[in-house]
Amino acid sequence: VPLNTFWLQSSLEPLRGRSPRADVLQGLPEDAVKMLEDKDAQQRAAFQELRVEMDERERSQRLHLRNMREHLRVLEETFEGRNDHVESVTETFSERLDIVTKCNHHAIKLVA
């Protein structure tokens, strides 16, 4: 065992099974310990509230993202439907233009 490892192990040995926090609080007056414990409880409660708030925000953001994806899907389907309609109207217009062009050619032949 290297010397520094041995020193570290031997210096930590008395602390095994004991909370370092208990060592810090051991020499303090009782009212100071109570004040520190109250402050710790307040901080833990505030942290828990923050965690709950962050979880709620995450759920809300996930729901919003899911709704936006659904909205995008609906828009894509609508666009595809309108695109199909535009293609259909264009084909119909093209067919009618062909008919008008043929009629004009026939009319020109009749007049000439």
61, containing H or E segment: helix 30-111
Which of 6-15, 16-25, 71-80, 103-112 is the least confident region?
6-15
pLDDT at 90 exceeding the cut of 70: yes
Which of 5-9, 66-70, 100-104, 108-112 is the least confident region?
5-9
The pLDDT score that the predictor gives to residue 17 is 53
Residue with tokens 């962050």: 54
Give the tens place of pLDDT for each residue, 74-83: 999 988 888 8
The pLDDT of 30-48, averaged and rounded, is 90
The pLDDT score that the predictor gives to residue 9 is 54
Q: Hey, where are the domains in the chain? A: 19-111
b/e per residue 67-106 (b: at least 16 CB within 10 A): eeeeeeeeeeeeeeeeeeeeeeeeeeeeeeeeeeeeeeee
Alpha helices in 13-29 (DSSP H): 20-26
